[in-house]
Structure formats: C-alpha cells, structure tokens
Amino acid sequence: MAKLKVFNLGGLNQYVNPLLKDDGQLIHSVNADSYPFGAKTKRSGYVAHLGTADGSAVNSLFHWETNAGSVYTYRASGSSLYYSIGGTGAWTLAGNGTISPGSQVGYAVLGNTLIIGDGVGSTRHTTNGTSFTNTTLAPVSNTFAQYQGRIYAGGTASDLFYSTSLDATNWNTSGTSDSSSIAIPGEGRIQSVFNANDRIIATKTSGLMFKWDGYSLVDTSSKVGPSSSESRAEKESFNIWLNQNGLYGYTGGFPTLLSNAIQSQIYNSTNTGITSANFSNAPANFYKNDYLIKVGTVTPDITGYQIDDALIKYDLQKNEFLNYKFADVPTAFHSYKDATGLEVLLFGDSSGQCYKLSGTATTDNGDPIETTMEFLIASGEVDNDKEFRRFKAFFNPGSQAKVSIAIADTFTKEGKTWIPLGDARSGIVDYQFPHNSRGRLLFVKIYENSTDTAFTLYGFTVEADILKD
C-alpha cells in the first residue's frame, strides 16, 4: 500500500502537464492564500472606504504625502478629481479638478509639488493638495515620472518631455530654463514612462522599450512593454506588467516572463484567456509582496473552469500564482502608507465606491468570500489503476470548509462525479473508501462560502493500493 502525504501546498501550475508534476498539484484556486507557508487559507476581505462622490466609475486612485507629512488620497471618476485628507476626510472636489470624462489620471512628485494629467486636458500641479493650477507649457500627458530632479512626461505622440531641473512647474526651453524633449523612435505612441535601475524607461503602444540616462537613449531591443499602463506596478525597483504574451518582471535589463504557470489564463488554444479589450485596461498594484491585477473573465483550457471577473495574484516572495475574485469588481487600484505608517490597498468600482483591504475583514463588504480549491493526486502511477483506501485532510478546528473527492480516469471536469465528505469542523476529515473504489486519478475539492473567520488547510494524506497490470 502506498501512502501519499501532501503537506506542501504550492501555487497554481496550469502550464506543465499536471500528470508530470508532484502529487497534490493545485490545478484550480479562487480566493485562497498561501499562509502559513505550505498551507492554504481563505483570503481576507475588505470594507467600504468613504462615499461614492459622483457615483461614476473610479478610473484612477493615487496619493501624495507632502514634505510636512500630510497625506492626501485622490480619485478620478466621471469628469472630476476628488481628494480626501488623511484617507478619512470625505471626498471633496479639487479646485480646478475638472477632467476629461472617464480619463485615467497619472501623477508624479518633485520637491513639494504634485503634478497630474489626464492625457486630454492641461497638465496641472498643486503645492497645497486641494487646488490645482494649469502648468504653463507642460505637455498634455497622463504618464509621468521623477528622475534626476526633473519631471518626465510622455506626450500624446512619440515625444518624451522633461521639465527644468528641480522645478516641476517650469517647462520653458529658453533663457535659464533647460526643459526639452526627446523623440522616441519606432512605431506606436508613448504608452508609459517610469523609473527602473536609475534610468527613465519609455514604452510605446507597439511594445517597444527605450532607456534614457539623461544623456543617451538606448533601444532595449524588446517589444514586450506593457499593453496597459495601468497594469504596471513597482515594488522595491521590481516592475511587473501585463503584455499579450504574459506577465513580465523588469529590473532595468531585459523583461523576464513570469507567468508560465498560468499561461492558459492569458492565452490558450480555445481562446478563453484574457479578452483583447482587457489587455488595454487592466488595473493593478502591489499590496505588501502581492501583485494584483484585474483581467476579466478567464477559462483556463487545462481545467475548463470559468472564473468571472478574475484577479491574478502573484506572490513576489514565494514566486507563486493564485486567483482572486472580489464581490465588487475593481476598476482602479492604489497602495500607500497612511498617516500611521500602515500599508493600505484601495480599489474602486464602477459604482463609484472605494474599498480598503483589511486583514480582519471576513467578508467582501458584507458578501461572503467564496473559496474553492482543487488538487490532483495520481499516486506516482498515472498509467495504473489504484484501489483507494483512505483519505485524511487536516484543517484548523472549527473550520467551515467542506471537502469533496472524485475518482476518475480522465482529466476533464465532465468525467468527475463528486462525493461530498462533509465539513471540517473537528479539524480532521477522515474517509474510508468503500470496496472497489478504483481509478487512475483522485481529485480533491475544498469549498467554503461563509462570512466567518478564515479556514486553514494544512494538508492531506491518501492511502491506495497500486494495481499492476
């Protein structure tokens, strides 16, 4: 008799043939986290944050901390820009805060000046956080970065502009002012501008990427720049973004493909990955060590399970992918440290409501968090039948998670007949298979949909006889 012990529950791998992987492979997961290491738990929830302002979809979220330590959070929705003081004050319309309807607003900070733009109307700046002034001669832009004491802005075509040294408001090109611009060659217009490895990186809608060090422009010989500027997020100089070929990591050299494990969620043979429209509108951000990106409805062809309004989560610390699904579909993300020094992740939705992730929340603003995981066991002998004898799963006592198993000879979801084993309130689910429980593969499904505290799955064991031909 073989006894299989699965107590190192990893992330999703939907790229490599699952029958070639270690037993206990996670093939489907929604709303689970890897905590503690090697286990799986239901993710935390979120709570509503402030009001809905004008009730229009939230297209951008960002913040500014002044030199004096005051923190302002901003939202762009409808045709207006709003601010909240300290993240607790009500949303208030900013002075000169009219924007192009539905536009995304980019920003950067130099000294004690915040500069913003929506890519349609005038670029503006503020020094008090509440009222903005049109920035004379600044280019129309919605992508900005601070570098070497200047603000860089991507124009609406292929010119990269920069301000006078140490002055975000001075875009003159004569006299003592030294503003200027650089023509970025190649097809497409400028898509995004950001810092990486002490260089300004300018990407184009064609995927081309160029590096600027203040003196020379270098073609990176890459065409995998972000397809959506909103998909780029940075953590300690490590950038991640979405491209039609996958999720890429970038530190300033050459972009590295990160997402092989979930390739079938991005593109696949049945064309059920990310839809083309969502590549150009995929909001993302880091929260602690997790990169979150909203990609819309996906159906990995290897499992055939549809995930509506899916979020892909990449754990930078563990190099691991999982999926989330929020009850309220994000339209914009932003993370920052509030006035107390606590890291906060905000997101907005199409109704104009913003939300804040909370480690103590057990619901999605009152809605239950539906969590599903599915594991595959072949007991090291894919081509031989097994007589399954016993199954044990280990949870935290009081867990409301439910367990089901299915024995099958095929990998298709239609070939599985699920046997419910009940809940895991005692902390252990112990099941003796009836006589003649034979098959090549065993699937284990964990499901929970309560508004109570999170469950934790520590692992499981399977006992089976290998039946040789």
pLDDT tens track for 151-179? 999 999 999 999 999 999 999 999 999 99
Per-residue confidence (pLDDT) for residue 414, from 0 to 100: 79
Q: Which residue has the tokens 């001669």?
A: 137
Which spans in 104-202 are helix H?
A: none
Whether 258 has a pLDDT exceeding 70, the answer reads yes
Handedness of CA 171, 77, 325, 458 (dihedral sign): positive
In this prediction, residue 469 carries a pLDDT of 64
For residue 259, pLDDT beyond 90: yes
Confidence of residue 230 (pLDDT cuts 50, 70, 90): very high
The model's pLDDT over 376-411, given as tens digits with 9 standing for 90+, comes to 987 666 777 888 999 999 999 999 999 999 998 877
Task: List strands edge to edge, sheet with 190-195.
Answer: 190-195, 200-204, 209-212, 217-219
What CA–CA distance (Å, rounded) separates 77 from 62?
A: 12
- Return the percentage of the chain with pLDDT > 70, whole number: 98
Q: Cα 138 to the chain's mean position, in Å?
A: 32
Instruction: Please count the other Cβ atoms lying within 10 Å of the Cβ belonging to residue 159.
Output: 18
Domains recognised in the chain with CATH numbers: 2-43+371-467 (2.60.120)
pLDDT digits (tens, 9 = 90+) for 204-222: 999 999 999 999 999 998 9
The H or E element containing residue 310 is strand 307-315
86 backbone φψ class: left, alpha, beta (φ>0; ψ -120 to 50): left
pLDDT value at position 379?
A: 62
Residue of 288, 274, 340, 333 whose CA lies nearest to 43: 288
pLDDT at 278 over 70: yes
Give the rounded percent of residues in the chain with a pLDDT score beyond 90.
82
Give the span between the Cα atoms of 4 and 464, in whole angstroms.
Answer: 8
If we measure between CA atoms, which residue out of 241, 327, 247 comes closest to residue 284? 241
Least confident of 95-109, 361-375, 406-420: 406-420
What CA–CA distance (Å, rounded) separates 292 from 316?
Answer: 11
Kindly indicate the confidence band of residue 117, based on its pLDDT and cuts at 50, 70 and 90. very high
Question: Looking at residue 22, what is its pLDDT?
Answer: 64
Higher pLDDT residue, 144 or 17? 144
User: Measuring CA to CA, which residue among 351, 438, 423, 426 is closest to residue 389?
Assistant: 438
* Tens digit of each residue's pLDDT (9 = 90 or more) over 294-331: 999 999 988 899 999 999 999 999 999 999 999 999 99
For the chain, give the mean pLDDT.
Answer: 93
| pLDDT one-digit tens code per residue, 125-137 | 999 999 999 999 9
Q: Are 12 and 313 in contact (CB under 8 A)?
A: no
pTM: 0.94
Mean pLDDT of 64-76: 94
Q: Looking at the predicted structure, is the pLDDT value of residue 339 above 80?
A: no
Q: How far apart are CA 35 and CA 42, in angstroms?
A: 9
